[in-house]
């Protein structure tokens, strides 16, 4: 067996009276990737942070054994912890934008690590920083080294953060959701980067809720729930034939081609032999076109003088009654601009959107207002779409005002809708910020349903949610759609989700439609090179199930 | 203001139930001794503003030349001034002028600043084309001009033109504070009008006027009370300062700044003439600032 980097026996972490990690034991060896899997609140991040002594002043960390690099970490002084962080263990956090200092160039960020751990002489620091940026696949590293976090794209930022974590060549990299906010092609690059570390004989502790990513890289998986380990073992064994009910639920909740037409949140069995419950059937009236977009164009003035960004370039599509049209693309592909044009929030430079054959985008806002309720919107971040001072009831009632209900009717309707989305009516008087992420997205679905719309535009409606909560939200949308015959325009960067929910799909790149058609045709027999490339970037092991 | 800052926090609910958060909440709830003392003092002051007779039956204007410049005693708690007027009575009655002028100045600044800030913030969004930007720019430059000279200096210029007096001094000090509120309201307006919930309201078919009244105004104005509470103290100080220079209420009105000015000549032999009004000015400013900060902490804590 290779060198033991981390040896944890019965780790318990408590904040005051509440214990968030119970008796967790694991080891990480050199050349090995161990993945901690679980939902928000499962204690996986706290477990990882206890390995670098960053659980915070209010925490009490106890363990039978907590050995890091062969040393007893329970007795480390602050000074020794500091040497360990960055030197022996590099930490990569999820949100690169807040993890990088906005007032320092990424070069300065990396040089700080180099200097702290005396990696290279001062004169060689800049050169080394450029080498590191190049090694994590950042193009033009000589240029990038002088840039600041806000000048970089999300993928580049995440890679810069990884470069700073790797600067002192740590034996162990702790990566907390390193790819969660990223497009699939960038995600693939990050995973390859981490895999290269493993080949060099370094260890990786990966924290993720994305089982597909885990399946791609991890040697061993530890599944956590409510601060306890519920299952652990070799990746193939755990994901291929899960023993614990919770692991099975997690696996079944991953939307994919195989889950089409079935409930995500009610499946049992293993990844191979999943017993799925079919969703209620949905009627698509292909001849009844409810929304049509023809030749949409939109150009934005770019920050650089004289440059224009052609965000949407000749996009046309139709949406039938009861149909789900998926729009996929990476960040910057123009998919959100298309959604905004359909919603009548952005005026297209050319082309038009018609609803039910009647003009829509060519109308003035004043004429559009009375018929606005036909079209509703569910956004990625429900909390910011609620007035912070308003209660749930008022939030839902706002969208029904056009119906001209009396206050008591509006209240009854809000209560009924909450029941419809599976929430307790006691939540009516609560403020949305006191709700969980899943509850908030349900409230936002209830609000979108309130005026009985014909079309709902969903912009990444489940991207910010845990996989099991995402499963519930997607199931709810499917049920409601079957019930009401609502058409959905479903915008997402998550190919699995789009494959699960959509009838037809539109693939966007740089504002153009590169491919469109029935979802199975596009995903199984892609014609365009870009679609092929997107699909090839998908983590494969689990999504094939 | 903080409402908008927390929108990235998608999991506030589970987070707020952690012991760390509840500990922090408990800390925030704790009312400190300084807040209690400040609160009692301000309550006494406000009572003195409304019914000064409650504290003293002595007429603040009654002169008894024979009793001039008496040191503090059981009979005259704060002593007497050159004309034999009871300083305690004058300080108590003077609260009415100092506090009320300070409050009026703040009110003028809040109202004018909010209106200007709203117009500036909304014009860029609601008035199409260059005109909207022009309106916004105009208010922006106006705020720059006002705040380019020190507030007290500006107030002195205004009083020089309008003449000294109670109303004029309130207006003068109010004008100097307009940019502070105007800028905050403008930037809040820009933030709120770009917020997702405003977009959503438009999707529900709400008219612009309704969106402004229901969403923009309330969310913009939440920032104002805290700002105003902290600023009242500064206004009172400015009032006393201008009065001291003879630009405010005129003798024999017992305004604190006026009293300070009157006592200046005899300060060597009768320290109490300047000490007690000065003490009340200082204590009022500190107490109001302490309360303002406490209010700010309370509101920040509630929204965090």
**DSSP assignment string, A303-339:** SSTT-EEEEEEEEEEEEEET-EEEEE--TTSSHHHHH
Compute CA distances A113 → A73, A117, A141, A174, whole Å.
Answer: 21, 6, 18, 16
The shortest C-alpha distance from A122 to chain B (Å) reads: 38
C-alpha–C-alpha distance, residues A376 and A403, integer Å: 14
| Chain A residues lying within 8 Å of B197, measured CB to CB | 384-388
User: Which of the four pLDDT bands, split at 50, 70 and 90, describes residue B88?
Assistant: very high
- Please tell me whether residues A165 and A289 are part of one structural domain: no
pLDDT tens figures, A206-216: 998 788 888 88
Q: Supply the CATH number for residue B123's domain.
A: 1.10.3720.10
Domain-located, residue B29: no
Contact assignment for A385 to B200 by CB distance below 8 Å: yes
Domain-located, residue B259: yes
User: Which of the four pLDDT bands, split at 50, 70 and 90, describes residue B5?
Assistant: very low
3-state secondary structure of A402: helix
Bridge partners (DSSP) of residue A223 are A37, A231
Domain-located, residue A153: yes
The residue of A383, A401, A457 whose CB has the most chain B CBs within 10 angstroms, and thus the best one to mutate to test that interface, is: A383
Domain-located, residue B12: no
pLDDT on residue A517: 92
Domain-located, residue A53: no
Q: Which 319-358 residues of chain A touch chain B by CB within 8 A?
A: 343, 345
CB A369 within 8 Å of CB A337: no
| Chain A residues lying within 8 Å of B303, measured CB to CB | 388
| Percentage, residues of chain A above pLDDT 90 | 30
Range of the domain at B204: 35-303
Domain-located, residue B14: no
CB A320 within 8 Å of CB A286: yes
Domain-located, residue A199: no
pLDDT at A164 over 50: yes
For A398, other C-beta atoms within 10 Å of its C-beta total 24
pLDDT at B14 over 60: no
Range of the domain at A153: 89-169
Region of A460 (left: φ > 0; alpha: ψ -120 to 50; beta: rest) is left
The shortest C-alpha distance from B209 to chain A (Å) reads: 12
Domain-located, residue A66: no
What are A206's two structure tokens?
Answer: 């990966």
Q: Is B199 on the interface with A (CB under 8 A)?
A: yes
The shortest C-alpha distance from A484 to chain B (Å) reads: 19
pLDDT on residue B304: 44
Domain-located, residue B137: yes
Q: Supply the CATH number for residue A345's domain.
A: 3.40.50.300
- Please tell me whether residues A310 and A444 are part of one structural domain: yes
Chain B residue with the nearest C-alpha to that of A367? B205
CB A389 within 8 Å of CB B218: yes
Helices and strands (H, E) in chain B, number of each type: 14, 0
How many structural domains comprise chain A? Answer: 2
Return the DSSP state at A258. Answer: G
pLDDT tens figures, A2-33: 788 999 999 999 988 888 899 999 999 999 99
CB A221 within 8 Å of CB A235: yes
Domain-located, residue B16: no
Domain-located, residue B207: yes
Beta-carbon contacts of A298 under 8 Å, excluding residues fewer than 6 positions away, are A310, A311, A312, A334, A337, A341, A346, A348, A349, A511
pLDDT at B26 over 60: no
- Average pLDDT across chain A, whole number: 86
C-alpha–C-alpha distance, residues A493 and A154, integer Å: 14
pLDDT tens figures, A64-75: 988 888 888 888
How many structural domains comprise chain B? Answer: 1
b or e along A102-129 (b: 16 or more beta carbons within 10 Å of the residue's beta carbon)?
eeebbbbbbbbbbeebebbeeeebbebb
User: Which of the four pLDDT bands, split at 50, 70 and 90, describes residue A279?
Assistant: confident
Chain position carrying tokens 């015959």:
A485
Return the closest-CA partner of residue B86 out of B108, B101, B71, B96. B71
User: Which of the four pLDDT bands, split at 50, 70 and 90, describes residue A186?
Assistant: confident
ipTM of the predicted structure?
0.72
Bridge partners (DSSP) of residue A163 are none
Domain-located, residue B27: no
Q: Is B27 on the interface with A (CB under 8 A)?
A: no
pLDDT average, residue stretch A118-141: 87
């Amino acid at each position: 067996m290779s060198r033991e980097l981390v040896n944890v026996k019965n780790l318990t972490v408590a904040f005051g009276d509440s214990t968030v990690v119970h008796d967790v034991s694991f080891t990480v060896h050199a050349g090995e990737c161990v993945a901690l899997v679980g939902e928000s609140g499962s204690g996986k991040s706290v477990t990882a942070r206890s390995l670098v002594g960053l659980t915070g002043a209010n925490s009490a960390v106890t363990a039978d054994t907590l050995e890091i690099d062969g040393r007893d970490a329970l007795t480390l002084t602050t000074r020794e912890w500091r040497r360990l962080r960055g030197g022996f263990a590099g930490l990569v956090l999820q949100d690169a934008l807040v993890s990088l200092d906005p007032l320092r160039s990424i070069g300065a960020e990396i040089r700080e690590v180099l200097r702290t751990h005396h990696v290279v002489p001062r004169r060689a620091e800049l050169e080394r920083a450029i080498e590191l940026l190049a090694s994590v696949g950042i193009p033009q590293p000589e240029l990038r080294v002088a840039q600041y976090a806000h000048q970089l794209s999300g993928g580049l930022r995440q890679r810069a953060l990884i470069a700073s974590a790797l600067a002192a060549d740590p034996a162990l990299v702790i990566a907390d959701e390193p790819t969660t906010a990223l497009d699939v092609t960038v995600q693939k690059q990050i995973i390859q980067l981490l895999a290269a570390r493993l080949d060099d004989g370094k260890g990786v502790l990966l924290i993720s809720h994305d089982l597909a990513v885990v399946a791609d890289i991890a040697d061993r998986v530890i599944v956590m729930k409510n601060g306890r380990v519920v299952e652990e073992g070799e990746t193939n064994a755990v994901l291929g034939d899960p023993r614990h009910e919770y692991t099975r639920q997690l696996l079944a909740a991953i939307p994919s081609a195989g889950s089409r037409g079935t409930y995500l949140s009610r499946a049992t069995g293993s990844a191979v032999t999943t017993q799925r419950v079919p969703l209620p059937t949905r009627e698509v009236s292909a001849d009844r076109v409810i929304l049509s977009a023809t030749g949409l164009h939109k150009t934005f003035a770019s920050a650089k003088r004289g440059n224009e960004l052609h965000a949407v370039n000749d996009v046309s599509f139709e949406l039938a009654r009861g149909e789900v049209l998926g729009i996929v693309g990476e960040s910057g592909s123009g998919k959100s601009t298309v959604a905004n044009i359909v919603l009548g929030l952005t005026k297209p430079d050319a082309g038009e959107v018609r609803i039910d054959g009647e003009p829509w985008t060519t109308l003035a806002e004043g004429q559009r207002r009375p018929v606005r309720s036909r079209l509703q919107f569910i956004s990625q971040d429900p909390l910011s779409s609620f007035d912070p001072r308003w209660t749930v009831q008022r939030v839902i009632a706002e969208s029904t005002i056009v119906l001209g209900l009396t206050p008591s009717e509006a209240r009854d309707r809000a209560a009924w809708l909450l029941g419809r989305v599976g929430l307790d009516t006691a939540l009516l008087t609560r403020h949305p910020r006191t709700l969980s992420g899943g509850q908030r997205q349900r409230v936002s679905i209830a609000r979108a349903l309130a005026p009985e719309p014909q079309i709902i535009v969903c912009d990444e409606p489940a991207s910010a949610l845990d996989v099991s909560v995402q499963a519930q939200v997607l199931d709810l949308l499917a049920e409601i759609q079957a019930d009401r015959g609502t058409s959905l325009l479903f915008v997402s960067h998550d190919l699995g989700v789009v494959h699960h929910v959509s009838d037809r799909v539109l693939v966007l790149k740089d504002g153009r439609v590169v491919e469109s058609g029935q979802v199975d045709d596009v995903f199984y027999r892609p014609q365009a090179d870009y679609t092929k490339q997107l699909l090839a970037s998908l983590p494969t092991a689990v999504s094939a199930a | 203001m903080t409402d908008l800052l927390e929108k990235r926090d998608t999991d506030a609910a589970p987070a707020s139930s952690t012991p760390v958060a509840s500990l922090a909440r408990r800390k925030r709830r704790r009312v400190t001794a300084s807040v209690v003392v400040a609160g009692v003092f301000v309550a006494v002051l406000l009572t003195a503003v409304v019914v000064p007779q409650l504290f003293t039956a002595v007429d603040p204007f009654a002169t008894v030349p024979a009793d001039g410049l008496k040191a503090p005693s059981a009979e005259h708690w704060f002593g007497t001034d050159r004309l034999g007027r009871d300083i305690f009575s004058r300080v108590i009655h003077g609260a009415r002028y100092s506090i009320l002028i300070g409050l009026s100045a703040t009110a003028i600044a809040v109202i004018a600043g909010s209106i200007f800030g709203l117009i500036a913030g909304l014009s860029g969004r609601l008035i199409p084309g260059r005109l909207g930007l022009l309106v916004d720019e105009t208010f922006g430059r106006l705020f720059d001009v006002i705040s380019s000279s020190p507030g007290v200096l500006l107030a002195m210029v205004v009083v020089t033109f309008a003449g000294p007096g109670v109303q004029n001094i309130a207006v003068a000090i109010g004008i100097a504070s307009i940019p502070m509120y105007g800028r905050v309201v403008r930037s809040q307006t820009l933030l709120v009008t770009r917020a997702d919930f405003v977009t959503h309201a438009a999707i529900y078919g709400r008219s612009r006027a309704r969106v402004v009244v229901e969403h923009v105004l309330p969310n913009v104005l939440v920032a104002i009370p805290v700002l105003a509470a902290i600023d009242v103290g500064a206004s009172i100080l400015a009032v006393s300062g201008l009065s001291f220079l003879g630009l405010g209420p005129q003798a024999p009105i017992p305004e604190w700044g006026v009293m300070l000015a009157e006592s200046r000549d005899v300060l060597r032999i009768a320290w109490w003439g300047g000490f007690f009004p000065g003490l009340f000015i200082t204590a009022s400013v500190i107490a109001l600032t302490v309360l303002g900060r406490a209010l700010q902490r309370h509101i920040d804590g509630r929204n965090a």
